[in-house]
Structure 1
Amino acid sequence: MARRKDVDQGYAWVALGAALSIQLLVALVVFSSGVINVAIMQEVENDITKASWIGSTLSGTFTLLGPVSGVVQHRVGSKLTAFAGATLVLLGMTLASFCWTLTGLLVTYGFISGLGLSLCGNVVGVVPGHYFEKRRSAAYGLCMAGGALGLFIAGPLTRYLLDHYNLHGTLLIIGAISFHICIAASLLRKPTPTSNTSFTVESNNEEDASAEEGSIEVSGVDSQPFQSSNATEAGVKHITNTNTEETTIPFLVEDIKITPPCTPEIKESQCQCCNTRLLFGVIQIVTRKAFLMYNFAILFWSLGDAACVFHLPNYTEVKGSTPRQAASLLSAMGAGGVFTRVVIGLMASDSSTEYTVLQLGIVGITGLITILFPLYSSTYHWQIVFGFLYGLYSHGTNSLIGPLTIQLTSLSNVAIGFGIVYFSCGIGYLLGPVIASFIYDVTKEYDYTFIFAGICFMSSSMSAAGISLCRKR
């Protein structure tokens, strides 16, 4: 393989547009769960704690299965992974439209659709890193802006569908809309090289000729010319390598190795060796102190985000807002999120910008805004202000997940690293709504839910500070 002509240019922008579209549709399904939870309480189960398990299972499965999605994408590629994910989302939402019990919704809407979203979400986190190098952080910011657009659309669209088609019709229509992920996935293709590395093998002796029965796989990461150590006067092997700095990006190239003739025994041993190396690589990534601290930061952030966003519609309705006004708060979050995801991505593109400092600052401000929200939540106008400010600061974290994961793990491990980060995020999204519902059941006040969420954001900010300390040591 050789130099990629579509790094930072050309078809890279088409791939980025496809990833942005996938992110928008994934966010539409995920962020509609808060509004759908209100409909579940009205049509299926009035118990807030039991009903909250449906949405938390969707969000938790979406993120907890990140490592599985990372391994699947590592094996079969981005296109097939996205196709499989879109099919599972459609299947889960269609089956959920025929369910009238919490158990049925838990399995279909929560687990099956969540698994499909997990596969699609991992594709979004990997594609910009493979197609962009100089503009990678900006590409991640633009891609994650699709999530904010999905949040902007999710509230009003879901409320409109619920008013006209009730819960089960809404689930069926949202599932059909999400299946358009397949169209975006069809635009993802393998990188196109501009030239090929040539290998010339000349041999005059029988020993060298017999060695040519194996195949040569090209996967080089070294830009120095390769020389054969077996070259003799009788036989000369000449290998030309045209790799440049661009070809040292993992995934865009392969490793150079000599493969013996394929036999069933060799294939089995190679498969076992590959699985062992993959498992060892995952363990090695997880045990890195800086990456571990980042996962703690994401865990606390997702815990606070799930508790805050999931119960925000209910809280604002208790404060006197109408269901439509409550749904419009998600649009206010989306408006702030679109702006900050693009801006944070552009800021992170500056080589002098420290990602962990950005993470620490924006999450810390989010915690302060959330803790103080009960003091100014009495009117709809202040609720809109909170929604916009919350999206403006909290959603910047989404743009930093890709660059920070690459920085802490390396580009060659980004699919697995992104999956591990999603797993940490899933723990928070699974437990956040349940803990928030438990707090409400005990106190009968939603105010304490937002205080709990603010404390989680503050803990996330402190964990982000620990990343820099671990890296310096």
Structure 2
Amino acid sequence: MLGPCFGVLFSRYLLQEGSSSTTTAWIFNTQSFIWNIMGVVTRPLTQEFGWRRVGIFGSILVSVSMIASAFTPYPEFLFFSFSLISGAGGGAVVCMCFTVIPLYFDRRRGLANGIMMAGVCMGQIVGPPLARLLQDEFGFTGATLILGGIILHSCVGVSFFHPVEWHMKRSPAQVVSQTQEGSLPLISQGNGKLSVREGLVISHSEMSFSESLCEVESGVTSEFMLAKNLGIVSRPLRSSYCTLRNNSTLALSTLDIASNAAMQDTERNDDQLRSDEDDETRCWSICSVLLRVIHSTISDLGVLRSPRACILAFGGTFCINGYLNFMMMVPFAMQAAGHTLEASAWCLSSSAISNLLMRLMVSSLSDWSKFNMRACHMAGFGIISFTIFIFPFLSDLTHLLVTMALFGCGVGATMGLYNLVMIDVMGLENLAPVFGACCFMVAVGFICLGPLIGFVRDVSNSYALSMWVLAGMLLTSFTLWLFMPAAVRYDQRRLEEKEQQEPKKV
């Protein structure tokens, strides 16, 4: 909701405060910059902390951002309350959605992607009229507070971001093969009783691990509790216990439970020493996490060495910067032309409706082998460029609504295939790094190109000239994609040369 709602939500306040178009563009584009820069670090963060933790934290940040923006004392405060906080939180959640969905589906990946895209469009359909209605009823402060509460509900959706491994079924053949690899059975069958043998208990949740650990340390030897917590043997154990992230493990020594209970007295004597070591370990762990995130981020950006990835990144940069800045500018341009804020909200909603229908259609068609995703993607660039170019020439509200609906079709054709065309060009295994690299380039574009559009508007005092610059950016994206076949051939030739050189080195 945040991108399309920006103009409707903040235009009255910014115009009343006498904010310049350059300042307005900086606020919007700084938020978009941070939003997209999160695409680079989202994958490393989720590797360290998991999808749900990152997503829930990001959702809370966006809600806090809107609540803080409701009490902004001056326009520049929005750089902190809106641009920084909502950009970091919203970027983490939305960028995650684009990379999570393809991992769950193969045969119906396009349809699943279309359903996810429908959520994006529903925010664009409902957001502007809702923001305008809330402002009419409750004013700027009340409307922004209510939207902050609505956005907080995204935590419910994020709670379903389960790792794919949770839903993968283990075949009987895999279980048999693990047993034949020499691992000792954890539960002996002798005498019909349960007994702990050498092995590793795998617990698939933090709760089950903590329960198992407490039961062992307290000397509980109930056969029922052992049967409840024991898992699958994977390898022999050392005489200690340890925990691993996302796959907690409990290692039991070759001693029996009674001996294990006797060892507790010795462990208690070392509590103070262990607490000091834990503090040092915790500090080192935080540093190591940050280093891993930075290293993984830099590694992902290395994909830009490929010409195919560069075309994807720069094409997406000009496209996303162009159409989002146009949507931000529509409420200001229409009010300057004498139209009401309500009329501009309906124009944005009409584009969102056609955007939704087109995204669903092209995403579903992508599952069809004869559907040309690249041609459809390029056609979207052309449609967006054409509609932005003719928009300043129109004055009748009906014509504006039709033009915005056609604009939405172009956005839907392009963005509905945004991540799928990355898979088509670069492969599924490269989706996450390519998506992160594209987000990085889009973010840089918002800082370099977005404020430039506001500066052009202030210097020329013309919304039309600014929109024509945006139309030229979309035309540049279309032109770049004309070179994609040559880029594919170049990468293929370079790969073949590398394969030929490897045997010589050996």
**Alignment partner of 1:133: what SS?**
coil
Q: What letter corresponds to residue 333 of structure 1 in structure 2?
A: S
Tell me: CA distance 1:101–1:336, structure 2 relative to 1, closer, same or farther (3 Å): same
Aligned pairs for 1:38-437 (under 5 A) are: 38-190=11-163, 191-196=166-171, 197-198=174-175, 199-200=178-179, 201-202=181-182, 278=296, 281-375=299-393, 377-437=394-454
Q: CA deviation at 1:447?
A: 1.1
In the alignment, which residue of structure 1 is the partner of 2:461? 444
1:454 aligns with 2:462: no
5+ residue gaps, structure 2, are: 185-197, 203-233, 235-246, 248-280, 491-506
Matched residues, number: 395
5+ residue gaps, structure 1, are: 1-27, 205-212, 218-239, 241-253, 255-263
Deviations 1:312-331, CA, capped at 9 Å, x for gaps: 11112222211111111110
Q: What letter corresponds to residue 320 of structure 1 in structure 2?
A: G
Tell me: CA distance 1:468–1:169, structure 2 relative to 1, closer, same or farther (3 Å): farther
Question: CA contact under 8 A between 1:348 and 1:355: conserved in structure 2?
Answer: yes
Q: CA deviation at 1:203?
A: 8.9
Q: Quick one: distance in 1 between partners of 2:13 and 2:29?
A: 13
In the alignment, which residue of structure 1 is the partner of 2:488? 471
Q: CA deviation at 1:85?
A: 0.7
Question: CA contact under 8 A between 1:71 and 1:416: conserved in structure 2?
Answer: no
Q: Quick one: distance in 2 between partners of 1:54 and 1:142?
A: 31
Q: CA deviation at 1:457?
A: 0.7
Tell me: CA distance 1:272–1:33, structure 2 relative to 1, closer, same or farther (3 Å): closer
In the alignment, which residue of structure 2 is the partner of 1:251? none
| Higher mean C-alpha deviation, range 191-200 or range 327-336 | 191-200
Identity of aligned residues (%): 21
Q: Quick one: distance in 1 between partners of 2:183 and 2:321?
A: 64
Question: CA contact under 8 A between 1:129 and 1:136: conserved in structure 2?
Answer: yes
Superposition TM-score, scaled by structure 1 size: 0.76
Q: CA deviation at 1:451?
A: 1.0
Question: CA contact under 8 A between 1:37 and 1:55: conserved in structure 2?
Answer: no
**Alignment partner of 1:114: what SS?**
helix
Tell me: CA distance 1:38–1:471, structure 2 relative to 1, closer, same or farther (3 Å): same
Q: Quick one: distance in 2 between partners of 1:444 and 1:272?
A: 46
Q: What letter corresponds to residue 346 of structure 1 in structure 2?
A: S
| Higher mean C-alpha deviation, range 293-302 or range 37-46 | 37-46
Tell me: CA distance 1:354–1:216, structure 2 relative to 1, closer, same or farther (3 Å): farther
Q: What letter corresponds to residue 321 of structure 2 in structure 1?
A: L
Tell me: CA distance 1:108–1:275, structure 2 relative to 1, closer, same or farther (3 Å): closer
**Alignment partner of 2:471: what SS?**
helix
**Alignment partner of 1:349: what SS?**
coil
Tell me: CA distance 1:333–1:126, structure 2 relative to 1, closer, same or farther (3 Å): same
Question: CA contact under 8 A between 1:307 and 1:435: conserved in structure 2?
Answer: no
Question: CA contact under 8 A between 2:41 and 2:293: conserved in structure 1?
Answer: no
Q: CA deviation at 1:166?
A: 2.2
Q: Quick one: distance in 2 between partners of 1:455 and 1:382?
A: 22
Q: Quick one: distance in 2 between partners of 1:131 and 1:403?
A: 14
| Higher mean C-alpha deviation, range 120-129 or range 381-390 | 120-129
Deviations 1:384-438, CA, capped at 9 Å, x for gaps: 0111000011232222122123334443443333222222222334445422221
**Alignment partner of 1:195: what SS?**
coil
- RMSD over aligned CA atoms reads 3.1
**Alignment partner of 1:395: what SS?**
helix
Q: What letter corresponds to residue 177 of structure 1 in structure 2?
A: I
Question: CA contact under 8 A between 2:25 and 2:453: conserved in structure 1?
Answer: no
Q: What letter corresponds to residue 192 of structure 1 in structure 2?
A: H
Q: What letter corresponds to residue 154 of structure 2 in structure 1?
A: I
Aligned pairs for 1:26-41 (under 5 A) are: 28-41=1-14
Q: CA deviation at 1:75?
A: 2.5
Superposition TM-score, scaled by structure 2 size: 0.71
Q: Which structure's CA Rg is the greater one? A: 2
Question: CA contact under 8 A between 1:307 and 1:432: conserved in structure 2?
Answer: no
Deviations 1:45-72, CA, capped at 9 Å, x for gaps: 4322223322222222211221022321
Q: Quick one: distance in 2 between partners of 1:272 and 1:59?
A: 24
Tell me: CA distance 1:203–1:373, structure 2 relative to 1, closer, same or farther (3 Å): closer
| Higher mean C-alpha deviation, range 450-459 or range 90-99 | 90-99
| Higher mean C-alpha deviation, range 421-430 or range 131-140 | 421-430
Question: CA contact under 8 A between 1:29 and 1:174: conserved in structure 2?
Answer: no
Q: CA deviation at 1:284?
A: 3.4
Tell me: CA distance 1:97–1:447, structure 2 relative to 1, closer, same or farther (3 Å): same
Q: What letter corresponds to residue 142 of structure 1 in structure 2?
A: I
In the alignment, which residue of structure 1 is the partner of 2:250? none
| Higher mean C-alpha deviation, range 268-277 or range 415-424 | 268-277
Question: CA contact under 8 A between 1:319 and 1:379: conserved in structure 2?
Answer: no
**Alignment partner of 1:384: what SS?**
helix
